[in-house]
Amino acid sequence: MAIFDRRLMLVAAGAMFASGPALAGMGQPSPWQMGFQEAGSPIMEQITAFHTYVNVIIVLIALFVLGLLVYVMVRFNEKRNPEPSRTTHNTMLEVVWTVVPVLILVAIAIPSFRLLFAQYDFPKADLTVTATGSQWFWTYEYPDQGITFASIMVQDADLKPGQPRLLTADHNLVVPVNKNVIVQLKSNDVIHDWAVPSFGVKLDAVPGRLQKTWFRAEKTGMFYGQCSELCGRNHAFMPIAVQVVTEDEFNDWVAKQKASASFDATGKVAAAH
């Protein structure tokens, strides 16, 4: 059995290297995933592109240094080069090995700052939601729609087919597609962190402070994240489940939430304890 499993893992690893990032799922992690989750927002597309770009530079530098090391070991070892040169200075070489790394850093810094500014350049909000971290669940509030509810992890035994373990919540944060969603973050107790990898969003929820981030989901579907700041015993069990729907579906959902008395915020939160 163990051998079979190992073979299966090898096959999976082979498939992974053959197909590359294609195995990385949209909105949730996938087995043997190597890269990022597929981008579901413009910011995440930019993060992925920047990551690829920097990775290429890193690999080229590593290969160059490896090549130099191998060259020195072969060409200048004691056997082949018994009489070492007494050279101490080479102005040209010193200028080059100072200027080239500076240029590389500039080439990294420019897109890096461009990305940073894009993340902090808040667009006009189409929808504002407030996420409040508590030990150990999230509460979502739609201040303009007057909706509040708690989002609590679904236990393994209660999962329906297709629902990912540790990521499924009893109530999703529902947002419309292709709209700018501003997420305000608060905490009731300790520092939590609201993170959704596919949207390129990760921000601490700090007690006594109102933090702000944003995303613009480009596709409908489920997008999952987890609390990403160690916040206590059940830190691993407070998922973030974002359901991206069309605008019509969103309006229907809002109407339904308003009509439903059972969706009373205080009742939900009280029921969680």
Q: Which residues bind Cu ion (CB under 5 A)?
A: 192, 227, 231
Q: How far is the CB of 227 from Cu ion (least distance, A)?
A: 3
Rounded Cα gap, residues 213 and 250, in angstroms = 21
Q: How far is the CB of 194 from Cu ion (least distance, A)?
A: 9
Of residues 123 and 207, the one with the C-beta less far from Cu ion: 207
Q: How far is the CB of 202 from Cu ion (least distance, A)?
A: 13
Of residues 172 and 187, the one with the C-beta less far from Cu ion: 187
Of residues 8 and 236, the one with the C-beta less far from Cu ion: 236
Q: Across the chain, which distance is largest between two alpha carbons, in Å?
A: 90
Of residues 48 and 184, the one with the C-beta less far from Cu ion: 184
Rounded Cα gap, residues 172 and 224, in angstroms = 10
Q: How far is the CB of 172 from Cu ion (least distance, A)?
A: 18
Q: How far is the CB of 229 from Cu ion (least distance, A)?
A: 6
Rounded Cα gap, residues 160 and 251, in angstroms = 26
Within 10 angstroms of residue 79's Cβ, the number of other Cβ atoms is 5
Can you give the three-state secondary structure of the chain, one letter per residue? Answer: CHHHHHHHHHHHHHHHHHHHHHHCCECCCCCCCCCCCECCCHHHHHHHHHHHHHHHHHHHHHHHHHHHHHHHHHHCCCCCCCCCCCCCCCHHHHHHHHHHHHHHHHHHHHHHHHHHHHHHCCCCCCEEEEEEEECCEEEEEECCCCEEEEECECCHHHCCCCCCCCCCECCCEEEECCCEEEEEEEECCCCEEEEEHHHCEEEEECCCCCEEEEEECCCCEEEEEECCCCCCCCHHHCEEEEEEECHHHHHHHHHHHHHCHHHCHHHHHHHCC
Q: How far is the CB of 148 from Cu ion (least distance, A)?
A: 19
Of residues 47 and 227, the one with the C-beta less far from Cu ion: 227
Q: How far is the CB of 133 from Cu ion (least distance, A)?
A: 5
Of residues 204 and 249, the one with the C-beta less far from Cu ion: 204
Of residues 212 and 235, the one with the C-beta less far from Cu ion: 235
